[in-house]
Amino acid sequence: MTTPDTILSVSGLDVHLGESHVLQGVSFEVRSGGVTALLGRNGVGKTTTLRGLLGLVQRRGEILLEGRDISRLHTHEVVRLGVGYVPENRDVFAGLTVQENLRLAERPGGPHHYDLVYELFPRLRERLRQRAGTMSGGEQQMLALARALLNDNRLLLIDEPSQGLAPHLVTHLADALTRVATLVTVVLVEQNLNLVRRLARDAVILDQGRVVWTGDVGRLLNDDERTRDYLGVGVAR
């Protein structure tokens, strides 16, 4: 049931890729504010769900953003409604500088939140003239996040931001995302369950293209059997 504090409501989302029926009627809701984690084993359809929401893959089903059906909109129209995306491959232009990468991310009409970006990632301000491709993986991840944060978004879709980062960078990322989540609703795909525990309030678990569990993150991560069955891991406490 959709309640007033629901920002996103997905119902019967279906995606075929090649011969595969990757999403088979995915349905879930995202509450306004904070972080909802989209979890599941490798290959269950998490990235495809984010891409489906954005219209980057052909999809069927109903997707309501603040009550408005966006399921037939093109990607640029979804983005213009305030949906930001940070893909897992760190979508930066390697041959361009940090400054150019940020400029290109500016959505026409603004506003553009450079103050916020530099407050969260002071390193980027120091490196405005550096080519993005010569920065470390962590710095590129910060730049990818910064590109999404520059614009006014209602919803940010962030795919595996901690992938490949050293532990101290994961801590920095967690601090930044904690602040981000006070400003905009986040749907986070993440394998690092310590990060999920720290950041997320709600969880949605996918298995083989279907939602198999939704609920409170704390409840999920305190349930060894469930985390083992659905996520294939034990959780360190």
Q: Cα(213)–Cα(205) distance, rounded to whole angstroms?
A: 5
- Between 43 and 167, CB nearer to ligand ATP: 43
Provide DSSP, the chain. Answer: ---TTEEEEEEEEEEEETTEEEEEEEEEEEESSSEEEEE-STTSSHHHHHHHHHTSS--EEEEEETTEE-TTS-HHHHHHTTEEEE-TT----TTSBHHHHHHHHPPTT--B-HHHHHHH-HHHHHTTTSBGGGS-HHHHHHHHHHHHHTB--SEEEEE-TTTT--HHHHHHHHHHHHHHHHHSEEEEE-S-HHHHHHH-SEEEEEETTEEEEEEEHHHHHT-HHHHHHHHS-----
Site string for ligand ATP, 16-45 (x = CB under 6 A): -xx-x-x-----------------x-xxxx
- Between 11 and 163, CB nearer to ligand ATP: 163
Q: Which stretch binds ligand ATP (CB under 6 A): 13-21, 105-113, 197-205, 220-228?
A: 13-21
Q: Per rule CB under 6 A, is residue 90 in the interface with ligand ATP? A: no
From candidates 29, 36, 39, 46, binder to ligand ATP by CB under 6 A: 46
Q: Per rule CB under 6 A, is residue 48 in the interface with ligand ATP? A: yes
Q: Per rule CB under 6 A, is residue 47 in the interface with ligand ATP? A: yes
Q: Which stretch binds ligand ATP (CB under 6 A): 24-32, 46-54, 121-129, 218-226?
A: 46-54
Q: Per rule CB under 6 A, is residue 185 in the interface with ligand ATP? A: no
Q: Per rule CB under 6 A, is residue 231 in the interface with ligand ATP? A: no
- Between 23 and 105, CB nearer to ligand ATP: 23
Q: Per rule CB under 6 A, is residue 137 in the interface with ligand ATP? A: no
Q: How far is the CB of 40 from ligand ATP (least distance, A)?
A: 6
Write out the residues near ligand ATP by the rule CB under 6 A.
17-18, 20, 22, 40, 42-48
